[in-house]
Structure 1
Amino acid sequence: MQITKQRYYTPEEYLELEEAAEYKSEYIDGQIIPMAGGTINHNRISLNLSAALNFAFRQQDYEVFMGDVRLWIPQKLTHTYPDVMILAGKPEFFNNRKDIILNPQIIVEVLSKSTKGYDSPAETLCDREDKFQAYRTISTFQEYLLIDQTRIHVDQFSKTGKKQWTLREYDEEDEAIALATVPFEISLQNLYNKVKFDPVESEGESADVEGLG
């Protein structure tokens, strides 16, 4: 296998390249990593959640941002695009740029079998762990949702103390997810509304939840 030398990019070079790029990429400690393309299920879940959050917070001091807003994690030298971010109060911007924020309270990622172009479940798991570790260096970060787009399954991590987090899993259609750090609840039926699962990925069972909700 041919080994090529990897180029190191500065954060400034990344931002300049990203301005002109046709597709989004993440920046991780000098590396520019193209993001995998989104799917219809990914889009449906993100929209279902964001719409419900935006409606719930219309009279409250919280703000919701979707995947086009970038997050800068200074301790990890990382620029990334979380699927959904919830902020309490006013956003803090990186270098006064209105497209890069610093202070999310809740981060939501919609997962797929492939992350950053890898197909191995082990690589995907590693990526999930690395991102969570990076997010935990953000002082305002209190809660993390991982939503599976290939089946009904959500992991909810909530901060309970310094270096202490609890995990709750959801995998039944009649359950509802209650966020721990903001006043918001959504049923799995509404979260997965109109989502259609691949029968192969759900072990041959019919998993069309288009009619849910």
Structure 2
Amino acid sequence: MQDDETPDPVLVAKNLRLETGHGVVFDGVTTEVPRGAVVAVTGKAGVGKSALLLALTGRMRGVTGELSVDGNDALRHPGRVRKITSVARIDDLVEPEDSLSLEDCITERTLADAASARSRMANYLHTSTLLGLDVPLTTLYGDLSPADQVRAAISLATIRPAPLIVLDDIDRETTTLEQGDLWEGLLRLSDEGVSIIASTSERTAIPLSVLSIEMDTPHAR
């Protein structure tokens, strides 16, 4: 029996499956994400990591199984889940534009998420400080290093507070040392009660305190 003082998990998934006309994308995904946890979705390219992140935030159609996010049935009510989750970066689908300054990215994200204009800058700066991002707001997103792009994307994703944030490809063009620093930054953010799920193909940089969802078998497309 669960201790009364133990908070309910932010996410519970049972036997999640996604199949398209091209084949099975992922199957049998079962996991439980505690509040204030950092989770790595690991596996090679083609195992469905990006699609799983979209599914876990109510942004992927055709998913079967059971999925609860912050007490909401994500398969029956995906719109509710989209409103309470935040996507920092997903493949080429969700990412700040290279040609925009960070200040412009903040404005764009505020509008896209219907976030509070009053608190947007404070929320962004708080997270960017936790993650170690120290660049002028006039800097273009495309001019940031790959590691700082991760930090900026996560910071933008917290402009509207959310209990769950997802990030694709934390290892994109980053060294294992940089990845280690990024994971540690996510752990600092999770200390404030936020859960973060990030995908990677590089397991060696993941700290022991980070939980894991293994996706090892590529499926036919």
With the length of structure 2 as denominator, give the TM-score of the two structures: 0.30
Higher RCO (Cα < 8 Å, 6 or more apart): 2
- Higher helix fraction (1 or 2): 2
**Which has more radius of gyration?**
1
With the length of structure 1 as denominator, give the TM-score of the two structures: 0.31
